[in-house]
Amino acid sequence: MDTQVLIVGAGPVGLTLAIDLGRRGIRCILIEQKEAPQFLPKMERCNARTMEIYRRLGIAQQIRDAGFPRDVPMDVFIVTSLIEPPLLHLPYPSVAQAQAETAACNDGSLPLEPYQLISQYTLEPLLKSVAESLPSVEVRYGCEFLSFTQGPDGVHTTAKTGGTASPLSAHYLVGCDGGSSAVRRQLGIKLQGEANLLQLRQALYRCDDLFERIPIGKGRHYHVADDRATFLIVQDSTRHFTLHSVVESDADMAAMFEKTVALPVDYQMLYVGKWQQNLLLAESYQQGRVFLAGDAVHLVIPTGGLGMNSGVGDAIDLSWKLAATLQGWGGPNLLRSYEIERRQIGARNVEASRQASRGRRAWRAAWRSDIRDDTPAGAEARANLARIANVEQRKSNEMIGAELGYRYRHSPLIWPDDREGPADDFMRYVPTSWPGARLPHVWLRGGSALHDHVGDGYTLLRLAGARPDAAALAQAFARLGAPFATLDVPEYHPRDVYGYDLLLLRPDLHVVWRGNQLLSVDPRQLAALATGHPSTW
Ligand SMILES: Cc1cc2nc3c(=O)[nH]c(=O)nc-3n(C[C@H](O)[C@H](O)[C@H](O)COP(=O)(O)OP(=O)(O)OC[C@H]3O[C@@H](n4cnc5c(N)ncnc54)[C@H](O)[C@@H]3O)c2cc1C
């Protein structure tokens, strides 16, 4: 085999997967059809969970340094233009303020890392340079995946570089090749749901002094109350902006920018393109040795920013399972669990995105042609739209439950619990250590985060002075060749938040099992289940 894992597509998902595999010492080749990362607008917000993941990869600070200034508020406005009083102003904390809130909170309800605004065209080159610095990772731009066949031992692909097609073989293939994924199409896997719900144009502008001059207040999104679904997004440099609108021609995007800004400014329109809104989910995420991740398997409306962020979650779920299987300690359920765990989250995030975009449509439906008029009827139209938006727009901006509160249900790697468990709430995060959930963040007495003490293998957390003998469990993991450690946290506070003395964590910080006595479980069963080996009981 030429490599252990072949990744197709160097978008944020393929790059994140390559970085985590590289950190785990797995050899991988990442191929990308483009000659180099492009300066084209797409996503701009890493959510809190993605930033927690990037912290574990050791790159959160690099991302913050390259992104939106830390003291600029993340406010969202609904406007008629940038110079008229906003119809609605929803304040959201800057990164600095959010970090201060996190520092002062220790009930598990806030993420360890807050969001970070960073444009995809800044993030991708950064991730590329991190991936390229890892000895076991090879990144090949200008290399297009063409086709594959798979057998019992590996996947044999054909890829084209500079007009020449050549073979490339790997133990596993992962298609991170975006919405029109060639890997998915070759697998014959269909996308299900609603396609082409709305077509918009998006343009990228450089306008150096606009941000400083916006008279109505600084923020990240300015939604225009019009019948064109227009919205302006501030990019990470604060000198670049994107505008989205339903217009007839590319040239109309210049006039729409000027109308929205309504200030005399010098600007360049650097790019105009079309894009469409979809709510789609692949019918499956895997066939044999071939896996799919990111936009290749789920396409959401960017409302709420669950596109790339869902894909980063896929990458981080798949990565340690591939590594474990290639290192020989992962059982057959490990790779099988990828689709079980991540497809349900894909479906959940498609639903969260649907709710958010319905909210957006609800306040836009209140638009009336006299909304800018200086008349009692105009004032009434503005007030009515603002009243609806004050509820409905929040569904896009306040998705902390969708971001942090997901839980892997019915996974063969998670200790079964017959009870229903906490209900899904996209807009509210209630910390829980329910099996399958992400471990809530708590600070320890010395000021460090408990998350930062958890290593890359399995960890038995012993809290509040509990010290049951973990030798049998350690031995069970050792017999399987799986990495295992105990972490003793004598403090009582984490125990209060998690509700149990003992938690077994997976490499991705999700809870496998929790309890107050190790004697209540057979250590061999627990280790076998966590590592994906079929049940022996
Ligand atoms: C306007 C807009 C705003 C958005 N805002 C957000 C946001 O704020 N937050 C968020 O989370 N998401 C957002 N998204 C969604 C986000 O951009 C996507 O979800 C994200 O790019 C998906 O990443 P990916 O790596 O899966 O796929 P992509 O970014 O599409 O990358 C796929 C890569 O595969 C390459 N490729 C394709 N075919 C081949 C082949 N045959 N051989 C080799 N390489 C190939 C492509 O060139 C590409 O580089 C937004 C999207 C849009 C359109």
Q: Which atom of ligand 1 is nearest to the CA of 15?
A: 25
| Average pLDDT score, the chain | 97
* β-pairing verdict for 268-282 and 231-234: unpaired
- Whole-number Å distance, alpha carbon 353 to ligand 1 midpoint, is 16
Q: Contacts from 247-253 at CB under 8 Å and sequence distance 24+?
A: 247/201, 250/201, 250/203, 252/201, 253/201, 253/203
Which DSSP helix (H) or strand (E) runs through 398? none
Q: CA separation (Å) from 298 to 148, 237, 294, 301? A: 22, 29, 6, 10
Taking CB atoms and a 6 Å cutoff, what residues make up the pocket around ligand 1?
Answer: 8-14, 31-34, 42-45, 120, 144-145, 176-178, 182, 202, 275, 294-295, 302, 305-309, 311
What lies within 8 Å, CB to CB, of 411 at 6+ separation is 337, 340, 341, 436
- Whole-number Å distance, alpha carbon 54 to ligand 1 midpoint, is 18
Asked if 41 and 235 touch (Cβ cutoff 8 Å), the reply is: yes
Q: Among 158, 177, 244, name the best residue to mutate to test ligand 1's pocket (greatest count of ligand atoms within 8 A of Cβ).
A: 177
**Portion of the chain with pLDDT greater than 70, in percent:** 100
- Whole-number Å distance, alpha carbon 329 to ligand 1 midpoint, is 32
Structure token digits, residue 236: 């990470």
Average pLDDT score over residue span 214-236: 97
Nearest CA owner, ligand 1 atom 2: 42
Nearest CA owner, ligand 1 atom 11: 308
- Whole-number Å distance, alpha carbon 95 to ligand 1 midpoint, is 24
- Whole-number Å distance, alpha carbon 177 to ligand 1 midpoint, is 8
- Whole-number Å distance, alpha carbon 60 to ligand 1 midpoint, is 20
pLDDT range class, residue 536, cuts 50, 70, 90: low
What lies within 8 Å, CB to CB, of 321 at 6+ separation is 330, 334, 335, 337, 338, 532
Nearest CA owner, ligand 1 atom 37: 177
Nearest CA owner, ligand 1 atom 41: 145
Q: Among 17, 34, 42, name the best residue to mutate to test ligand 1's pocket (greatest count of ligand atoms within 8 A of Cβ).
A: 42
pLDDT range class, residue 537, cuts 50, 70, 90: very low
- Whole-number Å distance, alpha carbon 342 to ligand 1 midpoint, is 18
Q: Which atom of ligand 1 is nearest to the CA of 309?
A: 11
Average pLDDT score over residue span 134-147: 98
Residue 417: its pLDDT value, please?
87
Q: Which residue intervals of 232-287 are DSSP H helices?
A: 252-261
- Whole-number Å distance, alpha carbon 193 to ligand 1 midpoint, is 19
Phi, psi of 92, rounded to the nearest 5 degrees = -135, 140
Angle, helices 12-23 vs 120-132, to 10°: value is 30
Whether 473 shows a pLDDT value over 80: the answer reads: yes
Structure token digits, residue 370: 């006299």
pLDDT range class, residue 21, cuts 50, 70, 90: very high
Average pLDDT score over residue span 64-78: 97
Whether 130 shows a pLDDT value over 60: the answer reads: yes
Q: Which atom of ligand 1 is nearest to the CA of 295?
A: 26
Nearest CA owner, ligand 1 atom 27: 178
Query: Which pTM was predicted?
Result: 0.97
pLDDT range class, residue 420, cuts 50, 70, 90: confident
Q: Among 63, 308, 312, name the best residue to mutate to test ligand 1's pocket (greatest count of ligand atoms within 8 A of Cβ).
A: 308
Looking up tokens 């209140």 gives: 366
- Whole-number Å distance, alpha carbon 351 to ligand 1 midpoint, is 19
Q: Which amino acid is at 379?
A: A
Structure token digits, residue 411: 């996974």
Total residues found in the chain within this entry: 537
pLDDT range class, residue 54, cuts 50, 70, 90: very high
pLDDT range class, residue 530, cuts 50, 70, 90: very high
Q: Which atom of ligand 1 is nearest to the CA of 179?
A: 30
Residue 418: its pLDDT value, please?
83
Asked if 197 and 278 touch (Cβ cutoff 8 Å), the reply is: yes
Q: Among 120, 166, 240, name the best residue to mutate to test ligand 1's pocket (greatest count of ligand atoms within 8 A of Cβ).
A: 120
- Whole-number Å distance, alpha carbon 183 to ligand 1 midpoint, is 15
Phi, psi of 505, rounded to the nearest 5 degrees = -110, 150
Q: What is the pLDDT of residues 358-413, one digit of tens each?
A: 999 999 999 999 999 999 999 999 999 999 999 999 999 999 999 999 999 999 99
Average pLDDT score over residue span 165-194: 98
Nearest CA owner, ligand 1 atom 45: 9
421 versus 13: the higher-pLDDT residue is 13
Beta bridge partners of 111: none
